[in-house]
DNA sequence: CACAATTCAATTGTGCACAACTCAATGGCG
DNA sequence: CGCCATTGAGTTGTGCACAATTGAATTGTG
């Protein structure tokens, strides 16, 4: 098999801790900055992610939305209800397939797009990020995610 | 000021979406893999992070724990109660400063350390990660977090 | 056509993140 | 010493993540 390198398990645990912390911390730091910027728009961070998908695709069933965001109905259903209560989206049972629910932007939801264009500009300004570096970080994270997803599949108990 | 590059705001929003998604997705993918591995130990991912700090420091007040993890008492108090209910830690009011609560490992909590050494090894094995690349990713994430934190300070409404 | 398996959204229950708040202990300062 | 601002933990309320379950609609198969 793999020629296991001579790494002290305790060091590995320490490194593991550092990775976990870093990712955890980065996510929450991201969240915190967005929280402030999104307050003006009346959106939470996950709601912002949902709206971005809708701004791009206009209208789509909950299922597709979930695929884009890696979220299931348990998370999306209440979130979408709140967006509907805020007047940003409407939810309608599909007439073609009554199991499915179509989510579409209201005019108000559409209009929010204009104001949302400000957000990434302010993020970029405020953090002084280099665009290329961000792209690079993104691709690394994506590779990480892919590797983890594949690992998760093999790791699932009882899947052999 | 900064010589603003000619970037279409819509492209920026798209890139923003990608970064947000990637970070969000990576965190959740990480979480998912750990969830499976930690099930054996009876820990959630955040509980694992808390235990790692305790394994390293042995005993410390809730306040210090929160500083290590960037978490406040609102998150830690109930989490620590669950760890106490599981018999892994004990919480005792400090006699020196009765505002503060010391968190220390029980023998059972100490013993779990041995089994926890397995976790990062299995993560490393299962994902086939290169240690150097992980270290590199970690430093990038840390720089991101630092930049975001500084940005958050300047961005806080009413701080000028 | 009828029935079983699948698909999709919603609900329930647990746990985490965080803001806002309470309350007691502490520490300074006049 | 007495008062008051600060500190530390805990509580409450809102929202997200996810597993497990429910129930209705649809699809596949005999």
Domain boundaries, chain B: 31-116
Q: Indicate the pLDDT class of residue B91, thresholds 50, 70 and 90.
A: very high
The C-alpha atoms of residue B38 and residue B115 are separated, in whole angstroms, by 10
pLDDT at A125: 77
pLDDT at A155: 54
The C-alpha atoms of residue B68 and residue B106 are separated, in whole angstroms, by 20
Pairwise pLDDT comparison (B136 vs A130), residue with the higher score: B136
Q: Indicate the pLDDT class of residue B102, thresholds 50, 70 and 90.
A: very high
Q: Indicate the pLDDT class of residue A67, thresholds 50, 70 and 90.
A: very high
Question: B31-116: which CATH number, 3.40.50.410, 1.10.490.10, 2.130.10.10, 1.10.10.10?
Answer: 1.10.10.10
Among B residues 62-91, those touching chain A with beta carbons less than 8 Å apart:
69-70
Residue A140, chain B, CB below 8 Å: the answer is yes
Structure tokens at A85: 């209560």
The C-alpha atoms of residue B40 and residue B112 are separated, in whole angstroms, by 11
Mean pLDDT value across chain B: 85
Interchain proximity B152–A36, CB inside 8 Å:
yes
DSSP percent split of chain A into helix, strand, coil, nearest 5: 70, 10, 25
pLDDT digits (tens, 9 = 90+) for B6-61: 567 777 777 777 788 888 888 888 888 889 889 999 999 999 999 999 999 989 99
Q: Within 7 A of a protein CB, which nucleotides of strand D? A: 7-13, 15-20, 23-27
Residue A158, pLDDT > 50, answer no
If you average pLDDT over residues A7-20, what whole number do you get?
A: 76
In chain B, count of helices (H) and strands (E)?
7, 3
What does the CA dihedral A41, A48, B12, A37 come to, rounded to 10 degrees?
40
Q: Indicate the pLDDT class of residue A107, thresholds 50, 70 and 90.
A: very high
Class of the CATH-defined domain A12-113: mainly alpha
Residue B156, pLDDT > 60, answer no
pLDDT digits (tens, 9 = 90+) for A131-140: 788 888 888 8
Residue A40, chain B, CB below 8 Å: the answer is no
Q: What is the CA radius of gyration of chain B?
A: 20
Cβ–Cβ < 8 Å for A63, A91: no
Angle between helices B9-39 and B45-57 (to 10 degrees): 70
Closest CA to A22 of B120, B60, B39, B49: B49
pLDDT at A159: 36
If you average pLDDT over residues A72-81, what whole number do you get?
A: 97
Q: Indicate the pLDDT class of residue B157, thresholds 50, 70 and 90.
A: very low
Q: Within 7 A of a protein CB, which nucleotides of strand C? A: 7-13, 15-20, 24-27
Pairwise pLDDT comparison (B144 vs B57), residue with the higher score: B57
Cβ–Cβ < 8 Å for A145, B26: yes
The C-alpha atoms of residue B85 and residue B92 are separated, in whole angstroms, by 14
Structure tokens at B78: 């109930």
């Amino acid at each position: 098999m793999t020629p296991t390198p001579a790494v002290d398990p305790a060091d590995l645990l320490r490194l593991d801790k550092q990775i976990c912390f870093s990712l955890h911390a980065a996510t929450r730091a991201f969240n915190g900055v967005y929280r402030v910027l999104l307050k003006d728009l009346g959106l939470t961070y996950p709601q912002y992610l949902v709206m971005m998908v809708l701004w791009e695709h206009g209208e789509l069933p909950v299922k597709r939305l979930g695929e884009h965001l890696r979220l299931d109905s348990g998370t999306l259903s209440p979130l979408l209800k709140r967006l509907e209560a805020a007047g940003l989206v409407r939810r309608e049972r599909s007439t073609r397939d009554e199991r499915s629910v179509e989510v579409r932007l209201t005019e108000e939801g559409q209009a929010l797009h204009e104001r949302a264009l400000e957000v990434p500009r302010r993020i970029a300004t405020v953090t002084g990020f280099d665009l290329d570096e961000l792209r690079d970080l993104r691709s690394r994270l994506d590779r990480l995610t892919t590797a983890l997803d594949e690992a998760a599949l093999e790791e699932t108990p009882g899947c052999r």
